[in-house]
Amino acid sequence: MVRIANCSGFYGDRFGAAAEQLAGGPIDYLTGDYLAELTMAILGKARRRDPEAGYATTFLGQMEQVLGTALDKGVRIVANAGGLNPAGLAARLRELTARLGLTATIVHIEGDDLTGRLGTVDGRDVLTANVYLGSWAIVEALRQGADVVVCPRVTDAALTVGPAAFHHGWGRTDWDRLAGAVVAGHVIECGCQATGGNYPFLDEVRDPIDPGFPIVEIAENGEFVVTKHPGTGGLVSVGTVTSQLVYEIDSPRYLTPDVTARFDSVDLTQDGPDRVRVRGVRGEPPPPTAKVCVNVEGGYRNTITFPLVGLDIERKADLVERGLFARLDRDLFDAVHVDLVSGTGLRVTVQGRDPAAVGRSFTAAAVELGLASYPGFFLLDPPRAASAYTVTRSVLVAADTVEQVVVGPGGQRTTVPLAHPADPFTVDLTPPPPADPPGGPVVRAPLGTVFGARSGDKGGDANVGVWGRDADAYAWLAGHLTVERFTALLPGTRGLTVHRHELPRLFALNFVVRGLLGGGASANPALDPQAKSLGELLRAGTVELPAALLEGS
């Protein structure tokens, strides 16, 4: 088997994790995921200010700490920290190795940038347009002897699939093995979310303050174990792995450029303390299209929060809104969002194309209310200028029109096709026999007393994965939590298209809410623009639970 460790789940994750993973025990590969849809927009703005920017600068600092150790131990590093400028990051890494007196082969990958090819989307200028590349360029880079592979916008799972495929010598049509590695990559791509971070059952996690980062041990047949280094905090359990598996997915067919992984085939068993074995993953050929994450200029946005305390909260909120827009023409803006947030106050956000209206006009009207509105008036933050925001869109391109390019330290370029000809087929899965839902008396209690949930964003959509601990809990969940009951528990989803997917082997349901997040995290004016809290709001909803389930919770 091959040990692949993750040291980053996002740009800004725990800086010392790379050193911790190298010091904590044996590993073969160190991976880091630094990119998200929002991150691409942030890097795009940085690159506009400075053409030499566009990559995750923290990765350089981490490599200064650990590159010598990694080389001494024979640990090879694969990360997507290259972002929009993998060539620039590779050059900085070569300068770093020279300054440290080290010898390392740095290889980077290109081919994801389709900005010039798309031009405009929805009539707006494209800030970034990056197709999700796969794992086979990573395999080629490792074949060329890379000690560090600097990736651009590859799929998150490719950071794991590439090393596993290279190590085991898999071919491009080893669908089940590749699918297993995709599932492994999805489990560890978000760092500590697989080891007890953000886990809903708080009492289960020992040392939740400093959880260890995850490791997968992948066998030649694609089966793997999720674990972490001994002595580190957190927890690796069937529950923590399930919670990450249902995070930010759509249907049970998980599409990548390398393989379609069937998440409804995944089987989990506890294999000892902090060890979860994953078996049975089936794979199908990838789709003929590739996904492109596009960020376009959206306009300008501004938010002011009016804290409301004491009595008559709703009347005070009404005074603010009427007073504000008595001084300010709503037609100045493309959108106005007024939200009364419990425990905070009235949050007013405006969006538009005119920075003066969104900035100076809006803030001036708010300030004018200072001595002419509700008792206890003050502003939570000082008025600020308008800020530009981006809108995230996803488009599809033919996979056979995309080429991945591996660029060696001497500038030599090797082209690796993204698409691979394959006859399509579908895996037929027999679902496990359903259990009978528990009968007997019921108790009115929060759904989260028994069931876990985790939620996240995919562009303008949100997902909520909900799971139980065993077949009895799942039998009740599958029978009770319909789309109608889901939307009743989450009123903000009413009127939107909601898809429900069943994952019986994981004892889980996945709900996908189309359009909940509008133009994506950067454009969404909500207090929680990435729907991270949606699962916890669902768990807080009160339902009639079988008393038999509560006894085991």
Mean residue pLDDT across the chain: 96
Distance CA 63, CA 86 (A): 15
CA dihedral 37, 38, 41, 42 (to 10 degrees): -140
* Long-range contacts of the stretch 207-212 (C-beta < 8 A, 24+): 207/233, 207/234, 208/233, 208/234, 209/233, 210/234, 211/235, 212/20, 212/24
Q: Is the predicted pLDDT of residue 116 greater than 90, yes or no? A: no
Percentage of residues of the chain with pLDDT beyond 90: 92
Percentage of residues of the chain with pLDDT beyond 70: 100
Provide the pLDDT confidence category of residue 551 given band limits of 50, 70 and 90. Answer: confident
What is the residue whose two structure tokens read 């009770």?
A: 480
pLDDT of residue 21: 98
Distance CA 242, CA 400 (A): 34
pLDDT of residue 119: 74
Provide the pLDDT confidence category of residue 552 given band limits of 50, 70 and 90. Answer: low
Lowest-confidence region among 36-50, 115-129, 281-295 = 115-129
Distance CA 284, CA 308 (A): 55
Provide the pLDDT confidence category of residue 446 given band limits of 50, 70 and 90. Answer: very high
Pairing of strands 148-150, 106-110: parallel
Q: Longest Cα pair distance anywhere in the chain, in angstroms?
A: 73
Mean pLDDT along residues 271-300 = 96
Q: Is the predicted pLDDT of residue 498 greater than 80, yes or no? A: yes
| Closest by Cα among 187, 234, 173 to 31 | 187
pLDDT of residue 416: 98
Angle at 443 between CA 437 and CA 446, to 5 degrees: 95
| pLDDT tens readout for residues 522-542 | 888 888 999 999 999 999 999
> Is the Cβ–Cβ distance between 30 and 77 less than 8 Å?
yes
Q: Is the predicted pLDDT of residue 120 greater than 80, yes or no? A: no
pTM over 0.75: yes
Outline where DSSP puts E strands in 7-104: 29-32, 76-79
Provide the pLDDT confidence category of residue 318 given band limits of 50, 70 and 90. Answer: very high
Mean pLDDT along residues 254-268 = 98
Provide the pLDDT confidence category of residue 117 given band limits of 50, 70 and 90. Answer: confident
> Is the Cβ–Cβ distance between 407 and 87 less than 8 Å?
yes
Distance CA 544, CA 141 (A): 55
| pLDDT tens readout for residues 134-189 | 999 999 999 999 999 999 999 999 999 999 999 999 999 999 999 999 999 999 99
The helix-helix angle for 136-143 and 158-168 (nearest 10°) equals: 50
pLDDT of residue 380: 86
Phi-psi region of 437 (alpha: psi -120 to 50; beta: other; left: phi over 0): beta
Distance CA 380, CA 222 (A): 53
Distance CA 432, CA 472 (A): 13
* Measured distance between the N- and C-terminal CA atoms of the chain, rounded to whole angstroms: 36
